[in-house]
Structure 1
Amino acid sequence: MNNQELKDKVLQVLENNKVGTLASVKNNRPHSRYMTFFNEELTLYTPTSKDTHKAEEIDENPYVHILIGYEGEGFGDAYLEIEGKAEIKEDESLKKQHWNDYMENWFQGPEDPNYIILKITPEQIRLMNKGDTTPQTLEL
């Protein structure tokens, strides 16, 4: 499959799956948690609180690993392994863009100073478990 076909399959996995794991580094060890991801092309965004371990961890080491897409059916469930660099964003327009009413359980609204967005810029994306031709690495 050529790079454009691979990119289309990667984007399809991202469009069809919003929850995945985000791993950062804590005390030189991986620390993973489930997160909700929104994508714009290949850039991922996830909302969180400024007062979380992940924000501290990303301040110390911005490199993260994401698994997203596995649906639990077994071999053949396409999923992605994404290595990337995370940035903490407090841009008001970005916070409003990714705001959902379910976040009212944790934040007072999109203007809440504790509400931040993690922007993850992929450095490598691998499509996994999609037939005999995977894994395949998307050229970025």
Structure 2
Amino acid sequence: MSKVCNTEVHLNCGVHDPEKWENYIQIQEKAEILTDPAEKEAFWNDQLVNIFKGPDDPNYAIVKVTPYRIEVNSMGSLEPEVWEG
């Protein structure tokens, strides 16, 4: 199985309207690019044919993200709730 480690991935999810802004989360993750043929075949979806030639297309890979820290921030609290794995 061929795996390449990538730099950290950060995702922020929230509401852009300050009047409706209550909670938002921030997720920190590690990303890996998976190029194993069996994994590519298992994740293949026929709707991808508009982008890739097939599961054996060299431009097709799977990005696996694994969270290691999640913060839930609330407007009423100065400290976020934190999960670390």
- TM-score, normalised on structure 1? 0.43
Determine which of 107, 110, 124 is the counterpart of 2:55: 110
2:44 is equivalent to residue 99 of structure 1: yes
Identity value in percent? 37
Q: Deviations over 1:19-73 (max 9, x none)?
A: xxxxxxxxxxxxxxxxxxxxxxxxxxxxxxxxxxxxxxx86x52121224x3656
Q: Count residues in correspondence.
A: 79
CA distance change for structure 1 residues 80 and 109 in 2, over 3 Å: closer, same or farther? farther
Which structure has more RCO (C-alpha within 8 Å, separation ≥ 6)? 2
> What are the within-5 Å matches in structure 2 for residues 1-140 of structure 1?
62-68=7-13, 70=14, 74-76=20-22, 78-129=23-74, 132=76, 135-140=80-85
TM-score (norm 2): 0.63
Structure 2 gaps, min length 5: none
Pairwise CA distance, 1:118: 1.3
Question: What is the CA RMSD across the aligned residues, in angstroms?
Answer: 2.9
Report which of the two has the higher share of helix: 1
Question: Could you say which structure has the higher strand fraction?
Answer: 2
Q: Where does structure 1 lack aligned partners over 5 or more consecutive residues?
A: 1-57
> Which has more radius of gyration?
2
Report the CA distance between 1:94 and its aligned residue. 2.9
**Structure 1 consecutive aligned stretches of length 4 or more whose deviation exceeds 4 Å:** none
* 3-state DSSP of counterpart to 1:84: strand
